[in-house]
């Protein structure tokens, strides 16, 4: 399965180099050295009571879940204490729902929806059309264009319709922009139904299936790659001009601890200029993918905490009507997709014991501010 890879951030820090002791190696990486020398957040969480994040935020605080996690009482207790919205991490995608014979299964999506209903948690739908997921049942329909389009519509209608009245939003099109930002991606859906047309169609079909639900486009590396952010904004304009009922914008916010200060704020503000609702939809901050100019892992953890705080602060500054939700892509570190890729990463707010990290305290402080 294709996963996002982070490009080195071209968004260099601005302003003068601070007067802290810098090694030659750090000086060579001067723009990025700002992160290393900025006032330090303590990477160890401060002691004291932990406030439920959802009680501090005027907007929903989300996380992603897998159906299997819901059997773990320690996990569900932590989730329920802090989060007011869930996104299925993968079991509401085609990879789970579409069986080889083209029929659909909803047992796990339904279990997550029932969990959310029982706990008074919002359910966010993710993701209907994704270049990375092209089930064989669809590929086989290649030669018969009419039936391909009908199957596409049937899938979107079935999934959105099933959670009508419960889902508070849907990622209709996920990751449409190429990694280098040069163009839109080319894949089964665009080849069979048209580069823009497959997206416009998906938005219309989703809208027909649940006319009241906010419909999102969603993408990643927008804060680290200005060309990708530009292309994403152009795509949103094209979709709106084409009459697609796109009503909200997702900014995944998978970032690395070396992201320059200010990049998250600029990106969130740029996306808010459309006047639509904004979802920070999948935030995590990788330590191991960050560059080598950090002197220690503690510095990386402090930079991680600052980035979480920056994103929360920028999001909280948006007009209230545009604050859809702020979602972190997982609860405890060991459950993160990044940790499954590299066991030494620690991208989330809670450690494996469910203890709050410095990143949690930074989010807590940013929400209180």
- Catalytic sites, residue numbers: 175, 282
Q: Does the footprint of ligand 9MR cover residue 93 (CB under 6 A)?
A: yes
Q: How far is the CB of 311 from ligand 9MR (least distance, A)?
A: 16
Structure tokens belonging to residue 6: 């982070």
Structure tokens belonging to residue 198: 């497959």
Q: Does the footprint of ligand 9MR cover residue 337 (CB under 6 A)?
A: yes
Q: How far is the CB of 138 from ligand 9MR (least distance, A)?
A: 16
Strands 85-88 and 122-125: parallel
Determine the interface stretch with ligand 9MR among 1-9, 155-163, 303-311, 312-320 (rule: CB under 6 A).
1-9
Q: Which is nearer to ligand 9MR, 1 or 369 (CB)?
A: 1
Q: Which is nearer to ligand 9MR, 277 or 281 (CB)?
A: 281
Cα–Cα distance, 28 to 113 (Å, whole number): 51
- Closest C-alpha among 346, 322, 321 to residue 336: 346
Determine the interface stretch with ligand 9MR among 87-95, 145-153, 155-163, 291-299 (rule: CB under 6 A).
87-95
Cα–Cα distance, 179 to 326 (Å, whole number): 23
Strands 85-88 and 129-130: unpaired
Report yes or no: 42 and 358 within 8 Å, Cβ to Cβ.
yes
Round to the nearest angstrom and report the end-to-end CA distance of the chain. Answer: 40
Q: Which is nearer to ligand 9MR, 13 or 62 (CB)?
A: 62
Q: Which is nearer to ligand 9MR, 252 or 304 (CB)?
A: 252
Using CB under 6 A as the binding rule, the residues of this chain from 194 to 253 that contact ligand 9MR are 220, 252
Per-residue b or e along 246-281, where b marks 16 or more CB atoms closer than 10 Å to that residue's CB:
bbbbbbbbbbbbbbbbbbbbbbbebbbebebbbbbb
**What are φ and ψ of residue 282, in 5° steps?**
-155, 40
Q: Does the footprint of ligand 9MR cover residue 282 (CB under 6 A)?
A: yes
Residue 213's SS3 state is coil
DSSP state of 98: B
- Closest C-alpha among 189, 212, 191 to residue 202: 189
Q: Does the footprint of ligand 9MR cover residue 4 (CB under 6 A)?
A: yes
Q: Does the footprint of ligand 9MR cover residue 162 (CB under 6 A)?
A: no
Q: Which is nearer to ligand 9MR, 56 or 106 (CB)?
A: 106
Q: Does the footprint of ligand 9MR cover residue 361 (CB under 6 A)?
A: no
Q: How far is the CB of 356 from ligand 9MR (least distance, A)?
A: 22
Which residue from 3, 25, 105, 234 is in contact with ligand 9MR, where contact means CB under 6 A? 3
Number of residues that bind ligand 9MR (CB under 6 A): 13
Using CB under 6 A as the criterion, which residues of the chain lie in contact with ligand 9MR when the complex forms? 1, 3-4, 89-90, 93, 95, 127, 174, 220, 252, 282, 337
């Amino acid at each position: 399965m294709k996963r996002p890879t982070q490009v080195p951030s071209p968004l260099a820090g601005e302003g003068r180099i601070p007067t802290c002791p810098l090694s030659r190696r750090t000086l060579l990486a001067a723009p990025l050295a700002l992160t290393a020398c900025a006032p330090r957040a303590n990477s160890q969480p401060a002691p004291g009571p932990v406030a439920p994040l959802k009680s501090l935020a005027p907007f929903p605080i989300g996380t992603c879940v897998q159906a299997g996690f819901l059997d773990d009482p320690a996990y569900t207790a932590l989730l329920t204490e802090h989060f007011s919205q869930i996104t299925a991490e993968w079991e509401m995608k085609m990879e789970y729902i579409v069986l080889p014979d083209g029929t659909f299964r909803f047992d796990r999506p339904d279990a997550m929806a029932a969990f959310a209903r029982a706990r008074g948690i919002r359910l966010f739908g993710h993701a209907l059309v994704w270049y990375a997921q092209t089930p064989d049942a669809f590929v086989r329909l290649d030669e018969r264009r009419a039936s391909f389009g009908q199957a596409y519509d049937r899938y979107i209608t079935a999934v959105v319709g099933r959670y009508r009245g419960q889902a508070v939003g849907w990622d209709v099109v996920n990751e449409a922009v190429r990694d280098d930002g040069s163009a839109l991606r080319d894949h089964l859906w665009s080849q069979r139904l048209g580069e823009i047309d497959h997206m416009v169609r998906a938005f219309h079909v989703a809208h027909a299936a649940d006319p009241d639900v906010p419909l999102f486009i969603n993408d990643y590396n927008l804060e680290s790659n200005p060309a990708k952010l530009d292309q994403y904004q152009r795509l949103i304009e094209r979709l709106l001009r084409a009459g697609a009922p796109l009503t909200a914008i997702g900014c995944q916010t998978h970032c690395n601890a070396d992201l320059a200060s200010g990049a998250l704020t600029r990106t969130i503000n740029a996306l808010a200029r459309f006047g639509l609702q904004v979802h920070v939809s999948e935030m995590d901050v990788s330590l191991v993918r960050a560059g080598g100019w950090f002197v220690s892992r503690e510095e990386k953890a402090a930079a991680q905490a600052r980035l979480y705080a920056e994103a929360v602060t920028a999001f909280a500054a948006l007009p209230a009507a545009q604050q859809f939700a702020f979602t972190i892509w997982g609860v405890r570190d060991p459950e993160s997709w990044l940790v499954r890729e590299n066991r030494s990463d620690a991208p989330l707010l809670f450690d494996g014991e469910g203890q709050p990290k410095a990143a949690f305290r930074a989010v807590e402080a940013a929400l209180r501010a």
